[in-house]
Amino acid sequence: MKKKVVIGMSGGVDSSVAAYLLKEQGYDVIGIMMKLSPDDPDYAENEGGCCSLSAVLDARRVADKLDIPFYVMNFKQPFKNYVIDNFVDEYFNGRTPNPCIMCNKHIKFEELLRKAISIGADYVATGHYASIEKKDGRYLLRKSEDDRKDQTYALYNLTQEQLKHTLMPCGQYAKTEIREIAEKIGLEVFRKKDSQEICFIPDNNHGNYIEKKSGRKVKPGKFVDKSGKVLGDHKGIVYYTIGQRKGLGIALGKPVFVIDIIPEKNQVVLGDEQDIFKNTLIAKDVNLIPFDKVEGEIDVTAKVRYSAKPAKAKLSQVGDNRVKLVFEENQRAITKGQSVVFYDGNYVVGGGVIETVL
C-alpha cells in the first residue's frame, strides 16, 4: 500500500516540483494550499503572493497536470493567532520578529501535520531546500545541496516527531535543476519568480501594516543618543529595527544607525556604525535537534539572520531552553526577536529567539 503524503502547495515552482518528485517516488500525493491571509483585496490581488488568486490557480493547474487531488484549506485563524499577533506584539515590544519561522513552527509543521495525520496521511511535505536524515535513532536536519537556496535557518524548530513525518524532496537539488525539471514536465510555473516579501504584507512596509491593521495606537517618541540626549522625533518604534540607517527621517550631519530600541521609554537609540557590532547573545525558546541539551561548551557556526554568513562561535546551555552564544568576531546588528541558528558542519544543531545582546 502506498504511503500517503500531504504537500503544502503555494503555486510556486519549488512545491510544484516537490509534488512531482514525490509522485515519481511512489507516494500517494495530496496537494493542499493553506489559506493564511485575511480576506482583503490587497492580498487577493497581489500577483504571485501567498494566498493570492493567481497562486491558487497556479497550484490547481499544477495539481491537474500531475493528476493529484488538490484542496484549499482555511488556516486563517491559527495563522493570525500564532504569526500575525506575534509579529505585531514583538514590534510593539521593540523586537524584530521573523514571521516565516513562526509560520513554519506553528502552521506548516504543526497545524498542517495535525490535519494530515487526521486524514490518514503518513507525512507532510514542502518545497523547502533542506534534507532530513536518520542516524543512530535520531532525525537530523541537513543543509540543502544548493547552499545559495538553503532554508534550514527557518526550519530549526522542527522536533523529532515532526522530522519523522516530514519529507523535503527539493533538498537534493539545486534551484536551477528544479526549474529545469518543471520546464521539462510542462509546468508553466518553471519561470515564476521567488516570493521575497512577507506574505501578509504585500508592500513590505511593516510599520504601515501594524499601524493600519493592528487596531493599536502607534505613538511617536524621541530619538536619543547613547547618553540619553534627545536628538529628534521618531514616528513610532514599530518602524525601526537594529542596524537601520535609511528611512530614519532625521539629519544629524553624519550617518547614524539604530543601535537600540527602548519600548518602556518609547525611545529609539542612534549611534555610529561601530556601535551595532556585538559578539555575545542569549537565546530563548531553544530547540535542539541532534541532542536534548548542550553539554559544556561546544564549537559551532551560527547565523544571526537568514542572510548572514555562518560565523564561528562557542555555544553553551544557560538554563532550560536558553543558550549563550559567543562569537569569535563581532557580528553586525544582532537583533532581539530575530532567530539565531547554529550548525555543526552541514547539520543544524538548533536555534532560538535572540533575547539579550551583550
Annotated binding site: 8-15, 34, 127
Rounded to whole angstroms, the Cα distance separating 226 from 240 reads 17
Rounded to whole angstroms, the Cα distance separating 263 from 197 reads 26
The set of cell numbers assigned to 13 is 515552482
Q: Which of 50, 51, 100, 103 is catalytic?
A: 103
Strand residues in 21-146 grouped as ranges (E): 28-35, 70-74, 123-125, 130-135, 138-143
100 is catalytic: no
Tell me if residue 63 falls in helix, strand or coil: helix
Q: Is 175 exposed, middle or buried (0-12, 13-18, 19+ CB in 10 A)?
A: middle
199 is catalytic: yes
Residues 6+ apart with CB under 8 A from 101: 154, 156, 157, 339
Q: Are 96 and 337 in contact (CB under 8 A)?
A: yes
Binding-site residues for ATP, in ranges, read 8-15, 34, 127
> Torsion angle of alpha carbons 59, 149, 49, 209, nearest 10°?
150
User: Active-site residues: which are they?
Assistant: 103, 199
